[in-house]
Chains A and B, each alone.
Chain A
Amino acid sequence: MQRRRFLGGLLLGPLAMTAAEGTIVIRNAKVLTVTKGSFDGSILIRDGKIVEVGPNVNAPADARVVDAGGQYVMPGIIDCHSHIATEAINEGSVSVSSMTGIEDTVNAEDIGIYRALAGGVTTANILHGSANAIGGKNVVIKMRWGKDAPEILLDGAKPGIKFALGENPKRRGGGESTLTRLRYPATRMGVEDVIREAFTDAKAYKANWDDYKARSAKGERLIAPRRDLKLEPLVEVLEGKRFVHAHCYRADEILMLLRVADEFGFKIRTLQHVLEGYKVAKEIKEHGAGASTFSDWWSYKMEAYDAIPYNAALMHKKGVLVSLNSDSGELMRHLNQEAAKTVRYGGLTDDEALAMITINPAKQLAIDNRVGSIEVGKDADLVIYDKHPLSNYAKVQKVFIDGQMYFDRDKDMSERAVKAEKRKTLAEKQKAAAAAPARPAGGPRRPQ
C-alpha cells in the first residue's frame, strides 16, 4: 500500500510546492510591473496578495525568501482565448448553443494547464469553439495545477459567452449521414439572421417572464413560463450581465455585428482573432469593444488571408484595447514571444508589448482589479524568467499564483528521470502480465 501511495503522489499530486502560507519575499529581481515601470528590487507577498513592491521592501524576518538571482519578474500571462482544460469545446449541432457552458466540462487535470504554467501563463479565458453563431458560455481559470475544477475558476470573473461569425458558423455539417439535416445558416447573412432571431426570442422570453411576474404579483392565478436555458444567457447579455466574446475575421462582418449589437442594445466585449480589425479600428473603438488577436498567424483559411502583422499595433494606436491570444495549447506556451513581435511590427514599447498579454487581457475580462500587473493589492501571480521575457531566449523559471509556486523548472527537470523509471517499471510489469497465460496452469477447469 505504501508503494501505491507513493505512485499516486508522484503522478497526481500538484507539482506545486507546498502551500506558501504567510509571507514571501522575492528579492534581487528585475521587476517588470507593466503598469508602473521597471526597476531592480523586491516584491513582498502576504496571503497570496502583493503587499509591497519597490527597490526595497519591509520584509519581516520570518518571510520565506525567494532569491530571483537578478532574473526578471513579470505579471502572470493572461490568455484571452484558449480551449485547454475542458473536455468539450464545441456543441456545433445547433446554430445557437447558449445552453451549454465550459463550466460543466472543466478538466482541472488537463496537462495543458501545466504546460501553460511552464510558458508563464497564469490565467486564461476558456471559450466555447467557433462552430456556431452563438456558442456556449466561457469560464476564466487560473492555472492552479493540482486543484479541482471549482477551485481553478477565477472567482468573481464576469460570465461571458462565445459568438462566431464567418466561415465556421456557416459551415453546414458534412458527411452522407447528415445530408438530411444540414444546419442553417450557409451564408454570412444567415449568421446575422441567426443572431437577430436569437435576441428577438430572448427579448420575447424576458417580456413573457416580466408579464408573468407582474400579473402573478397582482394575485392572478398563472402557470409560470418554462425556464429556457438557451435564452437565459442571452437575456443576461441584453442586461449587461454577460460579456460577448465574438470570433471574427473580416471587416464587413465585424461592422455587421457591432450594428446588430447596437440595434439590440448590448455590447460586444471582445472581438476575437479580428485579423482585419486594423481596417475598422475606429468603429471598434467607438463601440467600446476590445480586440484579441494573433501576432502573425494567418492564411489558414480564406477569411484569414487579408492579414498583416501590424494589426495589434495599429488597433492599439487607434485607441482599441488590444490583447494577444493563443487559441492553441502550443502557442500558449510562448505568448511572451508573440508579444515581442509587436515591437518588431509596429514599434510598440516593451511595456506596451507586455501589456498585450497581461493588463490588457485583464481589462478585457474585467479582472484587472485582481491580475495583470505587479501592483500592491493584486493577486501574487508572477513569473520569473531567466532573461527579459521579450527575448527569444527567455525561459520560465518559476511561476506563482496567489503567492503559491505552481511551477519550478528545476523541480520539473529533476523529477523527469524518476517518472521515466516508474513508467518503465509499470509498463514491463503489465506487459509481462498480459503475456502470461490467460488462466493459471494446472488442474482441470470447470465450465460455469
Chain B
Amino acid sequence: MAFAQGGSPDVYAIQNATIHTASGPVIANGTIVVRNGLIEAIGASAPIPAGAWTIDGKGMHVYPGLIDALSRWGLPAAAEAAPAARSAAAGPPGGGRRGGGDEPPANVQYQDDGGPEERPSNTSWVKAADLVQPADATLTAARNAGYTTAIVFPATGIFAGQGSALNLSGGRVGDMVVSSTVGQYLGMSAPRGFNSFPGSLMGSIAYIRQVYMDAEHYKAAKAMYAENARGLQRTAYDRALEGVLESPRVLLPAGRKVEIERMIRFGKELKKPVILYGGVEAWRAVEPLKAGGVPLLINLQWPERDRDGDPDFIDSLRTLETREMAPAGPAALAKAGVRFAFYSGGTARPADIRKAVKKAVDAGLPSEDALRAMTLSPAQIYGVDDRIGSLETGKIANLFVTDGDWLADRTQVKMVFVDGKKFEPPPPTPAPAGRTE
C-alpha cells in the first residue's frame, strides 16, 4: 500500500477492494477513482487515470462515509447537550423526565416574556454552521471511526435553530459545509421551567403551532407588501419567523409510540416536511410511521438499566420491555420499508456507536440496511443525497476504508476520505491493562 507523503495528490485510485456502494450491489475486486474531491469513477474495471496515486485495496473494504444524522459534534459545550437529555420525548419511558438546565449558546439572547407573540425560547435563525468549532477533537475522533459528515443541530430551547450538514474535513468552516440549513430543530420540554411560557408540553405544542401560523401570515403579508406597498401597513421584521421560513424541514421529538403518533399528526399542521427523532419505541410504531410517511432518526443510545441504580429495584414490565425491544425497532422499520437513519445520541465514542449498531443487527437488521441507515438514508432524509451518502460517480468523495467488515470486532479503519482528502487514523497502540478507549 502506498501512503500519502508530502502534499496531498489530486487523484487517488483504490484498486482490488470490496466496494460497498450503499446505492447498488457490492462490487468485489473493484476500483474507485477520486479526483478533486469527487468520485470520478467506480466499478469492477474502472480505468485508472495516469498520474493517480494508487492504493492497493486487496483485502480491504470501502464504504461510503458515515453520517451522524443528528449531531452535536463540534458545537460549543453549552450547545452540546445530548438530544436524549434535551427532550423527555426522545428518552426512554420512565427515564429522566426533564432535561432542563441547558443554557442558550453564548451568542444567543432570548427574549424574556410570557406569550407566544414574544417568541420565547426561539433562536430559529441560528445555524449550526455558524457555531461549529472545526478544531473540536470530537470531530477528529468521529472521522477516525469512519464518519465523514455530521448533521449538526443547535439544540437549546423550543426553536433551537437550523441544522447544517458538515463534512468532517477540518480546516475552515466554510469548506466543511455541505448544506448550511437542512431543517429546524424543535424541542418540546419546557426549557425554563413551569413559570415561563411555554411551561408544559401542551404549551410548547400550542406555541409551535402559533409560530408556524404566524410564519405563513408573515410570508403572505410580506409578499403582498412587496408586490405593491402603497396603502398597506408594513409588517414588522421578525427574525424568529425568518428562521422558521428559511428552514426546509422540521425536526420533532418522538420517542414513545404515543409521541410518534402525536408528532405525525402535529407535523401535518406545520406545512413543512417533518423528520422525527428519538424512536425508542419504533418497534411499536411501525404502522403509524409507515402510514404517515414520516422518516425517523433513531437514537443509538439504547435504553439500559442504570448501572448505579438500586440493584434490588425491579422496573415496570413496560420499562423492561422497552429496553428489551428498542434495538429491534430498526429491523422492523427496514422490513416495513420505513425510512430511518441512526444518530449518535448521547454517545460520542465511536466504539459505543458501533456496539449500538451491532445490537440492532443482532436484533434482525440486515447489515446492509444498517450501513444505509448511516449513509444513504440520512442523506436522502435531508435532501443531500445528490452529493453524499453513497459511492456513485460524481458524488463527493466521502468514504472510509477498512481491513474487514466494518461491524466486526477487530476491524480497523485504515483510511478516511473527506471531500477527497485522505486521512489516516492513528495506528492502534497495544492496549495496556485497563481503559484503552
Contacts and interface: CB of A to CB of B under 8 A. Distances in A.
A8 B325 CA distance: 9
A397 interface: no
Contact of B320 (A100, A105, A426): A426
B190 to A, nearest CB: 8
Contacts of B318: 11
Given A109-B258, A148-B261, A426-B320, A447 B429 contact: yes
A120 B143 CA distance: 59
B225 A150 contact: no
Interface residues on A, range: 35 or more
A161 to B, nearest CB: 13
A177 B208 CA distance: 25
Given A446-B412, A448-B144, A224 B202 contact: no
Given A150-B265, A177-B193, A99 B321 contact: no
B203 A91 contact: yes
B202 A4 contact: no
Contacts of A99: 116, 206-207, 209-210
A91 B199 contact: yes
B206 A104 contact: yes
A90 interface: yes
Interface stretch (B3-11, B72-80, B129-137, B304-312): B304-312
Interface in A153-182: 173-175, 177-178, 181
A426 B318 CA distance: 10
B262 A100 contact: no
A8 B305 CA distance: 19
Contacts of A434: 304-305, 307
A89 B202 CA distance: 8
Contacts of B115: 94, 230
A224 B213 contact: no
A93 B195 contact: yes
Contacts of A149: 258, 261-262, 265
Interface string A429-448: 11101100000100111111
Interface stretch (B15-23, B216-224, B293-301, B393-401): B216-224
Interface string A102-137: 101111110000000000000000001000000010
B131 to A, nearest CB: 26
B99 interface: no
Contact of A7 (B214, B221, B258, B324): B324
A12 B258 CA distance: 12
Interface in B396-437: 409-410, 412-413, 425-426, 428-431, 436-437
A224 B220 CA distance: 9
B202 A100 contact: yes
Contacts of A48: none
Interface in B209-248: 209-210, 213-214, 217, 220-221, 224-225, 228, 231-233, 235
Contacts of A419: 317
A430 B323 contact: yes
B233 A423 contact: no
Contacts, number: 187
B195 A183 contact: yes
Interface in A393-448: 419, 422-424, 426-427, 429-431, 433-434, 440, 443-448
B114 A181 contact: yes
A164 B422 CA distance: 66
Contacts of B195: 92-93, 173-175, 177-178, 181, 183
Interface in B333-358: 349-351, 354
Contacts of A128: 202
Given A7-B325, A444-B431, A447-B436, A227 B198 contact: no
A181 B112 CA distance: 9
A173 B364 CA distance: 51
Given A88-B200, A91-B199, A100-B202, A447 B428 contact: yes
A1 B364 contact: yes
A91 B202 contact: yes
Interface in A41-100: 86-94, 97, 99-100
Interface residues of B, number: 77
Contacts of B410: 443
B194 A11 contact: no
A229 interface: yes
Contacts of A448: 141, 144-145, 349-351, 354, 413, 425, 437
B200 A91 contact: yes
Given A104-B266, A221-B232, A223-B224, A445 B200 contact: no
Contacts of A446: 412, 428-429, 431, 436
A361 to B, nearest CB: 24
A101 interface: yes
B214 A11 contact: no
Contact of B324 (A109, A223, A426): A426
B284 A12 contact: yes
A226 interface: yes
Nearest to A222: B232
A105 B208 CA distance: 14
B258 A88 contact: no
Contact of A11 (B221, B315, B321): B321
A229 B232 contact: no
Contacts of A440: 409
Contacts of A97: 203, 206
A431 B217 contact: no
B116 A230 contact: yes
A224 B195 CA distance: 33
Contacts of B426: 447
Contacts of B265: 149-150
Contacts of B324: 4, 7, 426, 429-430
Given A223-B224, A427-B314, A100 B203 contact: yes
B125 interface: no
A419 to B, nearest CB: 6
A97 B207 CA distance: 10
A223 B202 contact: no
A84 to B, nearest CB: 14
The 3 closest A-B pairs by CB, nearest first: A446-B428, A91-B203, A93-B199
9 contacts: A88-B202, A91-B203, A92-B199, A105-B201, A148-B258, A230-B116, A423-B314, A444-B430, A448-B354
Given A430-B323, A447-B428, 5 more contacts: A99-B206, A149-B265, A229-B206, A423-B314, A448-B144
Interface of A: 1, 4, 7-8, 11-12, 86-94, 97, 99-102, 104-109, 128, 136, 148-150, 173-175, 177-178, 181, 183, 221-224, 226-230, 419, 422-424, 426-427, 429-431, 433-434, 440, 443-448
Interface of B: 112, 114-116, 141, 144-145, 193-203, 205-207, 209-210, 213-214, 217, 220-221, 224-225, 228, 231-233, 235, 256-258, 261-262, 265-266, 283-284, 288, 304-305, 307, 311, 314-318, 320-321, 323-325, 328, 349-351, 354, 364, 409-410, 412-413, 425-426, 428-431, 436-437
